[in-house]
Amino acid sequence: MNQKYQIHPVLKVIFTFSLVILLSFSHNFAFVMTILVYTLFSLSLMKGNQILAILKISLWVSLFTFIILLPSNKYSSVMITVKVFTTVTTINMLPHSTKWSSITGAFKFFNIPDIFILVLDIAIKYIVMLGNHALQLIWALKLRSIGKNRDKYQSLSGIAGNLFIKSVEMSKEMYSAMECRGFNGKYITLEKKRLSMVDLLYMLIHIGIVILFFYIGKIVE
């Protein structure tokens, strides 16, 4: 969502998870469809390239699910596919609409240990870097292996081992750099932010969804 409509990250994390849980519990098709529409609606508020990135994943996952479940029965294949699509889309909207540092801040709010957040943080930072490094090394290997290279697999393990050792050294230095700038292994909670009108609206919608879950459950029984 736009910078303007920034919703408090703690609320976002809580309600995203609650939505996923309700979806998983629900056996009512009407409720699942309502959530699907709500998800599509929120998705439509995002930027085009973000929508594209999110849909790429959720459509692929749902298609896969649908094909896998096709031979079973119609209930499973349709219901589970819709649930999978909605869940994956909802989850993917979270990182696309919230800054990573806000999400780690929200984790801290839920009392997740610092060591977990730290490892998470470092892993995220290194995935991109390691991926790029690995790619470069593979290119270098390709360039050097003219014709048939029987030891390719041997070289691959060398690449991976090298990468590991190198990145461990780099990450240690990164940790020293963090220490030099006053980090001592403790994450800080998010700055206390006042709840805005948008936050309240967001809360109302999600409380509405929870009520709907129980209400629909009742009429069906």
Partner 1 sequence: MHIPDNYLSPSTCAVMSAAMVPVWVVSVKKVKKGITKTNIPILGIGAAFSFLLMMLNIPLPGGTTGHAVGGTLLAILSGPYAACISVSIALLIQALLFGDGGILAFGANCFNMAFILPFLGYFIYKFIKDRIPTEKGELFGILIGSYVGLNMAALSTAIIFGIQPILFKNPEGIPLYSPYPLSVSIPAMTIPHLLVAGVVEALFTAAIFSFIKKVSPGMIYQGREQKTKAVYALIVLLICLTPLGLLATGTAWGEWGVDEIKDVISGGNQPLGFTPQGMENGFTFNSILPDYTLSGLPDIAAYILSAVAGTSIFLILFKVIAAFKKETFDKNSKLPSE
Partner 2 sequence: MIEINDVSYSYLGIRALSHISIKIEAGEAVAIMGPNGSGKSTLLKLINGLIFPDTGCYRFQGQEITENQLQDPIFAKKFHQKIGFVFQNSDTQLFCADVYDEIAFGPRQMGLSESEIGKRVNDLLELMQLDAFHHRSPYHLSGGEKRKVAIACVLSMNPEVLVLDEPINELDPRTQRWLVDFLIRLNKSGKTLITSTHNLELVPEISTRSILFDENHGILADMQTQKMLLNTDLLIKANLVDEYYHIHDGEDHVHFHDHIF
- Paired tokens of 53: 């990135």
Structure tokens, 197: 């009108």
Among 11, 14, 29, 190, binds partner 1 (CB under 8 A): 29
Let me know: does 8 contact 193? Beta carbons within 8 Å. yes
Residues 51, 141, 170, 203: which binds partner 2 (CB under 8 A)? 170
CB neighbours of residue 26 within 10 Å = 19
Q: Judged by CB under 8 A, does residue 166 bind partner 2?
A: no
129: contact with partner 2 by CB under 8 A:
yes
Contact 43, 89 (CB under 8 A): yes
Partner from partner 2, partner 1, none contacting 36, C-beta within 5 to 8 A by type: partner 1
Query: In whole angstroms, what is the distance from residue 81 CA to residue 55 CA?
Result: 14
Q: Restricting to residues 188-207, name those near partner 2 by CB under 8 A.
A: 188, 191
Q: Which does 177 bind (CB under 5 to 8 A by kind): partner 1, partner 2, none?
A: partner 2
Nearer to partner 2, 101 or 154 (CB): 101
Report the half-sphere exposure of 29 (CA within 13 A, side-chain side).
Answer: 7
Q: Strand runs (DSSP E) across the chain, as ranges?
A: none
Q: Residue 54 is encoded by which pair of tokens?
A: 């999110």
* Residue 79 burial (C-beta neighbours within 10 Å; 0-12, 13-18, 19+): middle
18 within 8 A of 210, measured Cβ to Cβ = yes
Candidates 1-9, 85-93, 189-197, 198-206: pick the segment binding partner 1 (CB under 8 A).
85-93
Residue placing its CB nearer to partner 1 in the complex, 70 or 195: 70
DSSP 116-168: HHHHHHHHHHHHHHHHHHHHHHHHHHHHH--S--TTHHHHHHHHHHHHHHHHH
Work out whether 11 is an interface residue with partner 1 (CB under 8 A).
Answer: no
Please identify, using beta-carbon distances, which residue of 74 and 186 lies nearer to partner 2. 186
Binding of residue 171 to partner 1 (CB under 8 A): yes
Query: In the bound complex, what is the minimum distance in angstroms from residue 149's beta carbon to partner 1?
Result: 16
Shortest CB 48 distance to partner 1, Å: 3
Only one of the segments 10-18, 63-71, 148-156, 169-177 lies at the binding site for partner 2 (rule: CB under 8 A); that segment is 169-177
Contacting residues toward partner 2, per CB under 8 A: 99-101, 121-122, 125, 128-129, 170-171, 173-174, 176-184, 186, 188, 191
